[in-house]
Chains A and B, each alone.
Chain A
Amino acid sequence: MQAYPPIVRPPAEAIGTLALIVGAIALLIFIGVEGALIYAVWRYRASRSSTEQPARFERNTRVEIAWTALPALVLALVFVLMLGAMAEIGGAGVEPGLRVRVVGHQWWWEFGYGAVTTANELHIPVETAVELDLTSTDVIHSFWVPELGGKSDMLPGTTNHLRLFARRAGVYEGQCSEFCGIEHAWMRIRVVAESQADFDRWLAAQGQSAAARGGDGERIFLANICVNCHTIRGTTAAGAAGPDLTHAGARATLGAGVLPNDVARMRAWIADPQQYKPGALMPRVPLSDPELDALAAYLVSLK
């Protein structure tokens, strides 16, 4: 566990506080300027001052200098506050307690914890500074879970870094926020923040290979094009283009958030992914009804 020292705020809180301060300043300026505007229109409207000749003043250098300098001073203050918050969201020298490799794909997420690879569901321990190393295999994506931190773009050929921190256990949702093609909308992120003990248990389970079952489902999976794109550790399936399915049944959703994960939905998804996620790179695999039943049951059983 690597908590932040009390003097450094975690990223989402640093952003939140700064947004509140800047928001309050903006609100004051808003009230002042809109108030002055409405007052001027109301006070000097022709129907109210029908006999008055309009004034003819048209310059006042002192006033001009004042309303140039005052906003500049306010902005200088905002700039200084900003520098502090930037250092905090960058980690302020605190070593991360966990590092996760994140790879963006059209349209799903790959998460790597050392040798363990999973997809679409990021598990992190609470009260721990987590650093993500972000990259992409195709186009630009952007990682954003608003309650846990800022966002960072994920560029092919480059690795970016983003700090996350969760105070409380729970599920936090986010999604890709750089337009990345037709299914950009269904590239959701589910972050499960849990106690260190729960996280360790989860990671140990994810590290297990799937025991060979020898059942129909496994046989169908290995005999079809599924293996070209998907990996199930412990079997011969070692494709890398799609999500690792070694623990497919342990995840809460299918298709990066488009469907809840259960046998019925898994079956429907395999039968026709394009119906739920048009444009997704997973093709329809021609399978008979009994084959679909067996395959769906097998995949969901991979906890």
Chain B
Amino acid sequence: MTALPLWVRRPSGERVGWLRTVDHKEIGVLYIGMGVAFFAIGGLEALLLRAQLATPESRLVDPSTYDQAFTVHGVTMILLAVVPLLVGFANYLVPLMIGAPDVAYPRLNALSFWLSLVGGIVLYFSFLAGGAPDTGWFSYAPLAERSFAPGLGVDYYIVGLAVNGAGTIIGAINLTVTILLMRCPGMAISRVPLFVWMTLVTSILILGAYPALTAALVMLFVDRQLGGHFFDPAGGGQVVLWQHLFWFFGHPEVYIMVLPAMGMISEIIPVFSGKPIFGYRFVAGSSVAIAFLSFGVWAHHMFAVGLGDTENAIFAATSMLIAVPTGVKIFNWIATMVGGRIRLTTAMLFAVGFIAMFVIGGLSGVSLAVVPIDLAVTDSYYVVAHLHYVLFGGTMLGIFAGAYYWFPKMTGRLLDEGLGKLHFWATFAGFNLTFLPQHWLGAVGMPRRVFTYAASTGWGPLNLVSTIGAAILAVAMVIFAVNLVRSLRSGEVAGDDPWDGFTLEWATSSPPPAENFPTIPAVTGRRPLWDRKHPDQRDRA
């Protein structure tokens, strides 16, 4: 295994291996590996769904398989792919960026990872134990109650998500404490890199949101296994209670998945524009505003439930408000580029792609906050399109940007730029071909979560286009996989600071030593490495 440059030796020279490691960088790599593996599995599930929907009244997969596939696809991508990928980057980068030797609680960090992974394995074990959950990722009661979902699939969902969530909560505590207490001398909280800032906000969001999910899961478990009636109207329960609890978690979860990716491109855009971020305080402050508001918008997932016009109008207002701080970020990123000297590396291309696609997801999101429009298109393919513009067009493009940007730090080698650009353009084309037509399909009446549709609906051609797009997207992912494997083995050697970076992770070797920095650095501004390289043009403190 000596060819793998990912190994980090202990100061003593001892190598403890992946199972016993408590090094934040190795745990970060483990998280990223978990995310990549589940992203591949979730992607294959998505391809199965698209293959089935390519033509009307298709019998390629039976409805039961289809329902398991879309349920597990959603849970996998959200909780087992995107969150671990983002937590992995945070784990790897936060201590480096704040000039710390590790996270605050390294052993707890290992526990977080293993709990997250075991949760995922428990969920997937359901396939061997008689059938995966088939009630959708938000698993509404009473469909998820035992009378309508008698198999064990939903029980695996409950246990898997609860264990995975425990790992995520513990990880969030660790990162919060690390960021608040372990910054190097001179790094005031107003000087931390924006990725660190957004990781802090995300961690606090996790601490507020995930417990609501855990509570809901426990209640559902009591209903299913211990004869409870929390969500059973016949026993005095309320079916809507599940939705309130789930979305109280579920909407902040969207920002848990988006904010760290926004943090990534807030690092990447300034470096490749050769300029400091425009409006640091507004970019950072708008994250706090988003986090705060995100706890007050959950019922916009429930406009069709019949909560009443007053409640719906209030949640519409808060949901629209959240567009304001989101817009502020987009304007600041563009202003960062203005007047700069833009190097269009693959990382920068993906960062620009993030903005371009996230704008579409953000605008369709505002339309969904408008109650009458939501009543037309909620639970349709319009929502499927919207959420993928946010989570793939936004978050995943941000993660790809981060991958191209930080891969050399993690491995010592650069990813290939030629393959990278091919990866970007194939992703861009495949993504838009897949999801743009789904807006129209939803608007004309195609509900989400249908295993097929009548030929008489006329939805066939656009579904075929969408499936072709998914195939192109799959090719793009293969290109990325080839790039990863090839560059890991024989990529160009990166050196410590291949991008002329601004932040502390570029001040140490690639990959960094176990203790990160030979001596704890001290900083005087927001761009410590810039200050070091340009002592005559230091940033104002």
A and B found bound together? yes
A residues engaging B (CB < 8 A)? 14-15, 18-19, 22-23, 26, 29-30, 33-34, 36-37, 40-41, 43-46, 49, 52-60, 63-64, 67-68, 71-72, 75, 78-79, 82-83, 85-87, 89-90, 106, 138-140, 142, 144, 146, 150-153, 155-158, 160-161, 173-185, 188, 257, 278-279
Judging by beta carbons under 8 Å apart, are A183 and B63 in contact? yes
Given A150-B375, A188-B454, the answer on whether A58 and B367 have CB atoms closer than 8 Å is no
Which range contains the number of B residues in contact with the other chain? 35 or more
B275-306 interface (Cβ within 8 A of A): 275-282, 304-306
Judging by beta carbons under 8 Å apart, are B277 and A45 in contact? no
Q: Write 20 A-B pairs (CB below 8 A) sorted by A numbering.
A: A15-B375, A18-B370, A30-B363, A40-B334, A44-B339, A45-B344, A55-B338, A59-B281, A63-B335, A72-B321, A79-B316, A86-B313, A142-B447, A144-B445, A153-B304, A155-B233, A177-B379, A180-B143, A182-B134, A185-B453
What A residues does B112 contact at CB under 8 A? none
Judging by beta carbons under 8 Å apart, are A278 and B62 in contact? yes
CA distance A181 to B140 in the complex (A): 11
Judging by beta carbons under 8 Å apart, are B375 and A178 in contact? no
What B residues does A49 contact at CB under 8 A? 341
What B residues does A86 contact at CB under 8 A? 309, 312-313, 371-372
Instruction: Report B315-353 CB contacts with A as 1/0, cut-off 8 Å.
Output: 011001101110110111011011111111000000010
Pairs A-B, 7 closest by C-beta atoms: A157-B233, A150-B375, A55-B339, A54-B274, A185-B450, A177-B447, A160-B306
Nearest A residue to B144 via CB reads A139
Given A34-B359, A37-B356, A55-B340, the answer on whether A19 and B367 have CB atoms closer than 8 Å is yes
Contact with B343, one of A46, A146, A179 (Cβ below 8 angstroms): A46
Nearest A residue to B71 via CB reads A179
Given A37-B352, A57-B339, the answer on whether A184 and B370 have CB atoms closer than 8 Å is no
What B residues does A177 contact at CB under 8 A? 378-380, 447-448
Contact with B278, one of A22, A33, A59, A183 (Cβ below 8 angstroms): A59
CA distance A156 to B372 in the complex (A): 24
Contact with A182, one of B63, B323, B338 (Cβ below 8 angstroms): B63
CA distance A278 to B297 in the complex (A): 38
CA distance A54 to B530 in the complex (A): 14
Contact with B373, one of A15, A54, A59, A174 (Cβ below 8 angstroms): A15
Given A26-B366, A46-B342, A146-B444, the answer on whether A75 and B143 have CB atoms closer than 8 Å is no
What B residues does A82 contact at CB under 8 A? 313, 316, 370-372
CA distance A56 to B270 in the complex (A): 11
Judging by beta carbons under 8 Å apart, are A140 and B140 in contact? yes
B residues engaging A (CB < 8 A)? 62-64, 67, 134-136, 140, 142-143, 148, 233-234, 239-240, 273-282, 304-306, 309, 312-313, 316-317, 320-321, 323-325, 327-328, 330-332, 334-335, 337-344, 352, 355-356, 359-360, 363-364, 366-367, 370-373, 375-376, 378-380, 443-445, 447-454, 456-457, 537
What A residues does B454 contact at CB under 8 A? 188, 257
CA distance A75 to B343 in the complex (A): 35
Contact with B330, one of A18, A33, A54, A174 (Cβ below 8 angstroms): A33
What A residues does B275 contact at CB under 8 A? 54-58
Nearest B residue to A14 via CB reads B372
Nearest B residue to A40 via CB reads B337
Given A90-B309, A146-B376, the answer on whether A56 and B328 have CB atoms closer than 8 Å is no
Contact with B448, one of A54, A79, A179 (Cβ below 8 angstroms): A179
CA distance A257 to B143 in the complex (A): 22
Q: How far, in Å, is A288 (CB) from chain B's closest CB?
A: 28
Judging by beta carbons under 8 Å apart, are B136 and A179 in contact? yes
- Specify the main secondary structure of chain A where it touches its partner: mixed
Judging by beta carbons under 8 Å apart, are A22 and B370 in contact? yes
What A residues does B313 contact at CB under 8 A? 82-83, 86
CA distance A44 to B272 in the complex (A): 11
Contact with A175, one of B337, B376, B445 (Cβ below 8 angstroms): B445
Judging by beta carbons under 8 Å apart, are A175 and B372 in contact? no
Contact with A18, one of B317, B373, B447 (Cβ below 8 angstroms): B373
CA distance A89 to B309 in the complex (A): 11
Judging by beta carbons under 8 Å apart, are B143 and A139 in contact? yes
Judging by beta carbons under 8 Å apart, are B376 and A179 in contact? no
Judging by beta carbons under 8 Å apart, are A34 and B356 in contact? yes
Given A41-B352, A177-B447, A188-B454, the answer on whether A139 and B148 have CB atoms closer than 8 Å is yes
CA distance A64 to B279 in the complex (A): 8
Nearest B residue to A90 via CB reads B309
CA distance A158 to B302 in the complex (A): 15
Extra inter-chain contacts (20) besides given A26-B363, A155-B239, A158-B233, CB under 8 Å: A19-B376, A30-B359, A44-B340, A54-B341, A58-B275, A58-B277, A58-B279, A64-B328, A64-B332, A67-B331, A75-B321, A78-B366, A106-B148, A142-B304, A153-B304, A157-B233, A177-B378, A178-B379, A185-B63, A257-B454
CA distance A85 to B324 in the complex (A): 23
CA distance A71 to B289 in the complex (A): 15
Contact with B445, one of A18, A146, A152, A160 (Cβ below 8 angstroms): A146
What B residues does A45 contact at CB under 8 A? 342, 344
Q: How far, in Å, is B132 (CB) from chain A's closest CB?
A: 14
Judging by beta carbons under 8 Å apart, are A151 and B379 in contact? yes
What A residues does B312 contact at CB under 8 A? 86
Judging by beta carbons under 8 Å apart, are B320 and A79 in contact? yes
What A residues does B282 contact at CB under 8 A? 64, 68
Contact with B306, one of A60, A106, A158 (Cβ below 8 angstroms): A158
Q: Which of B64, B328, B376 counts the most chain A CB atoms within 10 A? A: B376
Q: How far, in Å, is B99 (CB) from chain A's closest CB?
A: 22
Judging by beta carbons under 8 Å apart, are B450 and A184 in contact? yes
Judging by beta carbons under 8 Å apart, are B372 and A58 in contact? no
Nearest A residue to B70 via CB reads A179
Judging by beta carbons under 8 Å apart, are A179 and B320 in contact? no
Judging by beta carbons under 8 Å apart, are B370 and A54 in contact? no
What A residues does B317 contact at CB under 8 A? 79
Nearest A residue to B338 via CB reads A40
Judging by beta carbons under 8 Å apart, are B375 and A151 in contact? yes
Q: How far, in Å, is B247 (CB) from chain A's closest CB?
A: 14
Q: Which of B63, B275, B312 counts the most chain A CB atoms within 10 A? A: B63
Judging by beta carbons under 8 Å apart, are B142 and A156 in contact? yes
Judging by beta carbons under 8 Å apart, are A75 and B340 in contact? no
What A residues does B379 contact at CB under 8 A? 142, 144, 151, 177-179
Q: How far, in Å, is A34 (CB) from chain B's closest CB?
A: 6
Nearest B residue to A66 via CB reads B331
Judging by beta carbons under 8 Å apart, are B373 and A179 in contact? no
What A residues does B323 contact at CB under 8 A? 71, 75
Nearest A residue to B278 via CB reads A58
What A residues does B281 contact at CB under 8 A? 59
CA distance A40 to B67 in the complex (A): 44
Judging by beta carbons under 8 Å apart, are A68 and B344 in contact? no
